[in-house]
Chains A and B, each alone.
Chain A
């Protein structure tokens, strides 16, 4: 095998940060990335980490022109369903373009995702959830081929968010007790 999947270390945060930005560029939202690799180090490697990460690393001879050997990552965390219990949520799955498809020992994305599934199963999780943008056809196809169901379609779920000013306003109305 020409690549391996392993748990991320604090030293990997620079590479993870780089790839987070690459993924944001692909999703047409690069200006939305506000955190640095230092924040990732703090939040991912503290006592009760806020996320977990797996990285895909290739052998030296496959390193990129800029010298990178860490060429993919999956960032995930545990969530909870009041109906079914422990779940795993895969927040990001990314493989650098030159390592997709035809790359020797191909299937980096599949390997990363399978490892997330395995880690989840070890923690007794009953399901793996993630979100995909509706225009992202390559990803939609990739996931559907693995048996993923689109719950927005089948059950009508919408993702809502409070942030920035709306969150501040909300927080200001909290009871004092």
Chain B
């Protein structure tokens, strides 16, 4: 029997998705930043025009976690656009519960999302202090565009967004 399966997320997965999002945020020491709710996840992922897509990793019943979960990981992605090369896939979040790591679930996610979408490239961002993740991606052939081309990520938050849209 396989150690785990990967499958497309369904509406019933929303509570697990939020649980895993919070676990990953805890690892990144940003747990209090998660303000997203189950209602929003449901609307945004399973409405007419989804804002995201999700792949879940599930283990068989006999391998369920100590607190009773069989859904042990997720990968969230969406499509973006590069005006020079066209459709791109953006990997937003990618997480496996600690006790289920080492089964190559992480590796399988990337492969799975890359093959399904027939896109020209896959982008994602990594915090520069997260050396294990950076090494993981670089070993698989990812290039660090911040280093090589000098790209810097910017953000305009709610307050200024409001100011700007009021003009």
Give every chain B residue within 8 A of A149 (Cβ-Cβ).
Answer: 154-157
Quote the shortest CB–CB distance from A21 to chain B (angstroms).
9
Query: In the bound complex, do residue B152 and residue A150 qualify as a contact, i.e. CB atoms below 8 Å apart?
Result: yes
Q: Is B96 an interface residue (CB 8 A)?
A: no
Query: In the bound complex, do residue B128 and residue A157 qualify as a contact, i.e. CB atoms below 8 Å apart?
Result: yes
Give every chain A residue within 8 A of B140 (Cβ-Cβ).
Answer: 162, 166, 169-170
Q: Is A83 an interface residue (CB 8 A)?
A: yes
**In this complex, what residue of A is CB-closest to B148?**
A161
Classify chain A's interface size: 35 or more
Query: In the bound complex, do residue B128 and residue A114 qualify as a contact, i.e. CB atoms below 8 Å apart?
Result: no
What string of 1s and 0s marks CB contacts (under 8 Å) between B152-164 and chain A? 1111111111111
Query: In the bound complex, do residue A161 and residue B143 qualify as a contact, i.e. CB atoms below 8 Å apart?
Result: yes
Give every chain A residue within 8 A of B52 (Cβ-Cβ).
Answer: 80
Q: How many residues of B contact A (CB 8 A)?
A: 76
Q: Which of A35, A114, A148 contacts B154 (CB 8 A)?
A: A148
Query: In the bound complex, do residue B144 and residue A160 qualify as a contact, i.e. CB atoms below 8 Å apart?
Result: yes
Interface residues of B (CB under 8 A from A): 2, 5-6, 21, 24-25, 30, 33-36, 40, 44, 49, 51-52, 76, 78-87, 90, 92-93, 107-108, 110-112, 114-116, 120-129, 134, 137, 140-147, 149-165, 167
Q: Give me 16 A-to-B residue pairs in the complex whose CB atoms sit less than 8 angstroms apart, sorted by A's number.
A: A35-B83, A43-B86, A50-B79, A82-B24, A85-B40, A86-B51, A91-B80, A121-B162, A146-B160, A158-B144, A159-B146, A162-B143, A163-B122, A171-B111, A172-B111, A174-B112
Interface residues of A (CB under 8 A from B): 20, 24, 29, 32-35, 39-40, 43, 48, 50-51, 75, 77-86, 89, 91-92, 110-111, 113-114, 117-118, 120-121, 125-135, 143, 146-153, 155-167, 169-175, 177
